[in-house]
Amino acid sequence: MNAGVSQSSERLVRVPLGDRSYDILIGPGLIARAGREIAARVKGRRAAIITDEHVAPLYLEALTESLASEGISVVSLTLPAGEKTKSFDHLITVCDKILEARIERNDPVIALGGGVIGDLTGFAAGIVRRGVRFVQVPTSLLSQVDSSVGGKTGINSRHGKNLIGVFYQPDLVLADTGVLDTLSEREFRAGYAEVAKYGLIDKSDFFAWLETNWKDVFAGGGSRIEAIAASCQAKSDVVAADERENGQRALLNLGHTFGHALEAATGYDSRRLVHGEGVAIGMVLAHDFSARMNLASPDDARRVERHLKAVGLPTSMADIPGGLPPAEVLMESIAQDKKVKSGKLTFILTHGIGRSFVADDVPASEVLSFLREKQQT
């Protein structure tokens, strides 16, 4: 593991998926250079930028100018910020905007924003004309290291999160690390949970490196770029091996089954819990549950908890303000989660740090007892 050693100012990670392969560029100043990078990879000369009301004032003008300087004309749409934007209503609005702009198959639709904008826009790009070109310009740490890479797109349903969508790979990801300086501390930390996740899945060296170097990652500069590149590389490896989640890709859901249930339980209210925070708590729960099942040492669960707590992330259900519904309600949400096959619960469990695995026959009764105990402590 040489994370942190390289101090170059820009990194490139290639996602190798045959004729759907693409580059992830990581470094400062990429929005200003977006026009050139997009024009080099996409034929069309009309673009639609989809963004949200938080991001638009900061970067929409710079991105539009960069595209214009390459002769690409731009139409843009600014949506409300927040998880509730991942809805059918907003999907229809985005599709209509893309069609109104007469975007054709070779023209790019560009997601400028965090995971919500990326997931929604990618879904729209995947279904308008049965697929147009798609570029991700992720503006949060979470979306740079996770949602912008790998082609999962979608919206939420009243039955659960991300239940409607398509696999649709982008043609390019531009992770401009300069934009991360404008994130709130809380938002950066939430993204960091996904960075730590890659170490916990199968890279114990990377997790140990993060335990030592996390302050540098938070401070910015080379260590931050290195941590993002290592995360994108880790995700790219998993996606290249199992694009459509028939097996090992499910490892990326470490902490997510519990996390999604907690997000649902808080009504996707970002004042109470954001996705990365749910994942942080979910990862501690996954390690604790694995220990309870005698699969892993409780010491590993404590080590995970200690690190996430050190960076300021919530690590237990009690850390969520406003209280939670009973364990039974959380279970109901887990059962409807999409990682369920033929009635049995599929969970990502672990034998220890960096040794996670897909368990596809976890008894629901054990999970329920575990949640009850956790809620009482």
Annotated binding site: 115-119, 139-140, 152, 161, 194, 256, 275
Nearest to 204 by CA among 358, 348, 353, 3: 353
- Considering beta carbons, is residue 131 or 321 the nearer one to a second copy? 131
Binding-site size, a second copy (CB under 8 A): 36
Is residue 102 involved in binding a second copy (CB under 8 A)?
A: yes
User: If DSSP codes are grouped into helix, strand and coil, which group holds residue 79?
Assistant: strand
The values of phi and psi at residue 169, to 5°, are: -75, 140
Question: Looking at 43-51, 78-86, 211-219, 317-325, which segment touches a second copy (CB under 8 A)?
Answer: 43-51
Question: Looking at 55-63, 94-102, 223-231, 355-363, which segment touches a second copy (CB under 8 A)?
Answer: 94-102
- Considering beta carbons, is residue 250 or 286 the nearer one to a second copy? 250
Residue 278 and residue 83: Cα distance in Å, rounded? 14
Residue positions forming the annotated binding site for Zn(2+): 194, 256, 275
Residue 317 and residue 325: Cα distance in Å, rounded? 11
Is residue 108 involved in binding a second copy (CB under 8 A)?
A: no
Residue 143 and residue 276: Cα distance in Å, rounded? 10
Q: Return the residue of 184, 294, 342, 365 that touches a second copy, per CB under 8 A.
A: 342
Our CA angle for 362, 365, 367, nearest 5°, is 60
Angle between helices 298-310 and 204-219 (to 10 degrees): 10
Q: Of 83, 187, 245, 263, which residue is the catalytic one?
A: 245
Cβ proximity of 370 and 301 under 8 Å: no
- Considering beta carbons, is residue 156 or 233 the nearer one to a second copy? 156
Residue 161 and residue 286: Cα distance in Å, rounded? 19
Q: Return the residue of 84, 309, 338, 355 that touches a second copy, per CB under 8 A.
A: 338
The values of phi and psi at residue 208, to 5°, are: -65, -40
Q: Which residue's structure tokens are 């993204």?
A: 191
**Quick check: is 249 catalytic?**
yes
**Quick check: is 152 catalytic?**
yes
Q: How far is the CB of 243 from a second copy (least distance, A)?
A: 11
Q: How far is the CB of 346 from a second copy (least distance, A)?
A: 10
Q: Of 11, 97, 156, 194, which residue is the catalytic one?
A: 194
The values of phi and psi at residue 16, to 5°, are: -90, 100
Is residue 240 involved in binding a second copy (CB under 8 A)?
A: no
CB atoms within 10 A of CB 342: 7
* Type of residue found at 355: R
Is residue 88 involved in binding a second copy (CB under 8 A)?
A: yes
Q: Of 86, 197, 224, 249, which residue is the catalytic one?
A: 249
Residue ranges in 118-177 that form contacts with a second copy under rule CB under 8 A: 126-131, 152, 154, 157-160, 163-167
For the chain, give the longest Cα–Cα distance. Answer: 61
Cβ proximity of 259 and 37 under 8 Å: no
Active centre residues (catalytic): 130, 152, 194, 235, 245, 249, 253, 256, 260, 275
Q: Please give the residue ranges that form the binding site for a second copy (CB under 8 A).
A: 43-45, 88, 92, 95-96, 99-100, 102, 104-106, 126-131, 152, 154, 157-160, 163-167, 244, 336, 338, 340-342
